[in-house]
């Protein structure tokens, strides 16, 4: 039979748990202090009331721990029941029960690096709109895209606060307020405009030339992924800070951002459960990779500010050095911008270029076609760093598009949130309640047969067919299988390369320039071949999807063509 003390604790503990449940449901509690207060104060009050100034402190602690156990159990049960109940705003949307209950399931799949693959499986099982979290929807219905990505209707971008392990000093990518986001984006727009990107051509050319010299020095097998990563980091630091790394010269062990990959794994997990990030931020050593990334970024920003502008680098614009009578932003903001420049600039482009060479080497016909186009516009001895022909190189641009379609650098896409204080978002028969987080997983959209014929095949010619440069029944089409004009499927709406609208990636022009110059210069100079006996399937099997796509090694042999 339950003790009188236990009976006195059950009612008040359960009642306060239900009250706390409403607080957690209505408010995103990112403050560690608030989390502690909501977790421990109610059981303490109940225990104090039940023991009535106990003669023994142990009686109070016994009551406190009993009340805490009842309180937490009631809180968990109430949460699970509500999230699975027909009264939940997302109750009509299908999805696995465990995912409806907790974001920890999403965090698990993110930690494995297989979130994109798992989402494709869920959509095959449950349909175009799947509930993958208590308040999260994954959507692959392309007819909804113009409405879901309309900034005038939906103006809040989900802040992945867990990435920072803090709810302060959120970077531009995590700002919810549209006006503040627009203000923070202005220096980025200036620093990555067409005019600014033109100024980055010289440092980019210098880095490609150095990469070619270093590759010429190599004997035997070369890990192209490693060299591409070092090249990309060196150029990103040149572009963003006016210099700072010499990985191509000194080796990857000198990379001050060598914790970037570990940091991205942790950041990806914490983005699913932001409250956990806030808690871990107060545990010594728990966020070491992210803190190391922050420290390196702070050092780069401080050295750049102390040195001043020697070239018109990105920091020239981020620090408002191009504007008269405009004060510089706070240093913490510049540190956040430094992190964003490295994460968004180095990794994404590098991984795309590695995947591009993998796709070409695994598909000899495509490799030969692109080699022929490079030789046409930039024959051996000509200047591949002159950008005048890049726009005319239709097959090169098709290869870039096809690589991004299959291996998008941010495969699960950016998240948005319907404002909690407004009406639901209604698109036809689809109703997305206030406070709902949603996104459109790019890897699922890009590999959906309703959007692209032979969606799993690397087939650059699909882009030439869609643009009218060749016909589907022509010899140049090289379709992966039987296909007529009526059967050809190509949904441009489903192809999201750099995002849409005011929240689209501001670095599109720079990324395209970097990829085009890199490919043209390397294919003009070298002949590449995959290592004998290496299974190309190992590449796909080893890819992982965190904040950015991460690529494995790419072992190749290369030979100078001239």
Q: Assess contact for 472 and 465: CB atoms under 8 A.
A: yes
Longest dimension (CA), the chain: 93
Quick one: which H or E segment has residue 301?
helix 288-307
Q: What is the CA radius of gyration of the chain?
A: 27
Q: Assess contact for 171 and 303: CB atoms under 8 A.
A: no
Taking the C-alpha atoms of residue 480 and residue 56, their distance in angstroms, rounded to an integer, is 80
397 closest CA partner among 347, 464, 493: 464
Taking the C-alpha atoms of residue 410 and residue 371, their distance in angstroms, rounded to an integer, is 28
Taking the C-alpha atoms of residue 40 and residue 275, their distance in angstroms, rounded to an integer, is 16
Give the CA angle between residues 371, 374, 380 to the nearest 5°. Answer: 100
Q: Count Cβ atoms within 10 A of the Cβ of residue 522 and give its class: 0-12 exposed, 13-18 middle, 19 or more buried.
A: buried
Residue 434, CA distances (Å) to 30, 78, 452, 489 in order: 19, 21, 33, 35
Taking the C-alpha atoms of residue 289 and residue 264, their distance in angstroms, rounded to an integer, is 8
157 closest CA partner among 410, 549, 499, 498: 499
What is the token pair recorded at 62? 């016994």
Q: Count the alpha carbons within 13 Å of 513 in the hemisphere toward its beta carbon.
A: 26
Q: Is 505 annotated as a binding residue?
A: yes
Enumerate the β-bridge partners of residue 549.
Answer: 545
Which residue ranges are tagged as binding site? 505
Which residue ranges are tagged as binding site for heme? 505
């Amino acid at each position: 039979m339950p003790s009188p003390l236990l009976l006195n604790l059950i009612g008040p503990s359960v009642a306060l748990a239900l009250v706390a449940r409403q607080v957690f449901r209505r408010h995103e509690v990112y403050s560690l202090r608030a989390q502690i207060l909501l977790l421990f104060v109610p059981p303490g009050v109940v225990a104090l009331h039940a023991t009535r100034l106990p003669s023994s402190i142990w009686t109070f602690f016994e009551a406190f721990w009993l009340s805490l156990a009842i309180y937490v159990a009631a809180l968990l049960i109430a949460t699970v029941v509500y999230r699975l109940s027909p009264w939940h705003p997302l109750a009509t949307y299908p999805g696995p029960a465990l995912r409806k209950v907790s974001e920890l399931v999403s965090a698990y799949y993110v930690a494995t690096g297989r979130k994109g693959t798992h989402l494709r499986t869920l959509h095959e099982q449950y349909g175009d709109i799947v509930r993958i979290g208590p308040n999260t929807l994954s959507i692959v219905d392309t007819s909804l895209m113009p409405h879901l990505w309309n900034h005038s209707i939906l103006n809040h971008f989900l802040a992945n606060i867990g990435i920072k392990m803090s709810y302060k000093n959120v970077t531009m990518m995590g700002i919810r307020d549209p006006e503040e986001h627009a203000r923070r984006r202005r220096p980025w727009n200036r620093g990555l405009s067409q005019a600014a990107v033109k100024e980055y051509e010289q440092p980019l050319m210098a880095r490609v030339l150095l990469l070619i010299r270093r590759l010429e020095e190599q004997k035997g097998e070369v890990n192209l992924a490693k060299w591409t990563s070092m090249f990309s980091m060196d150029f990103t630091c040149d572009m963003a800070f006016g210099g700072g790394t010499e990985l191509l010269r000194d080796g990857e062990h000198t990379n001050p951002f060598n914790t970037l990959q570990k940091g991205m794994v942790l950041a990806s997990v914490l983005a699913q459960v932001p409250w956990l990030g806030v808690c871990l931020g107060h545990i010594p050593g728990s966020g070491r990779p992210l803190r190391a990334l922050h420290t390196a970024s702070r050092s780069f920003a401080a050295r750049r500010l102390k040195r001043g502008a020697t070239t018109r680098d990105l920091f020239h614009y981020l620090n408002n050095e191009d504007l008269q009578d405009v004060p510089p932003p706070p240093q913490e903001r510049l540190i956040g911008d430094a992190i964003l420049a490295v994460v968004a600039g180095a990794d994404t482009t590098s991984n795309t270029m590695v995947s591009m060479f993998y796709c070409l080497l695994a598909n000899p016909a495509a490799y030969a076609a692109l080699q022929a186009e490079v030789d046409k516009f930039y024959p051996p001895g000509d200047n591949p760093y002159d950008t005048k022909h890049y726009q005319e190189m239709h097959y090169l641009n098709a290869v870039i598009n096809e690589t991004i379609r299959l291996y998008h650098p941010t495969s699960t896409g950016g998240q948005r949130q319907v404002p909690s204080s407004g009406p639901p978002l209604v698109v036809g028969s689809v109703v997305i309640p206030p406070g709902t987080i949603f996104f459109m997983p790019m890897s699922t959209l890009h590999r959906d047969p309703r959007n692209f014929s032979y969606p799993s095949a690397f087939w650059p010619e699909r882009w030439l067919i869609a643009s009218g440069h060749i016909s589907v029944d022509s010899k140049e089409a090289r379709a992966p299988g039987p296909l007529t004009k009526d059967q050809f499927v190509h949904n441009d709406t489903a192809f999201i390369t750099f995002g849409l609208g005011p929240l689209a990636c501001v670095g599109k022009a720079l990324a395209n320039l970097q990829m085009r110059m890199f490919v043209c210069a390397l294919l003009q100079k070298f002949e590449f071949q995959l290592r004998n006996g290496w299974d190309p399937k190992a590449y796909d099997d080893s890819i992982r999807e965190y904040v950015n796509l991460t690529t494995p090694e790419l072992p190749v042999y290369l030979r100078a063509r001239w």
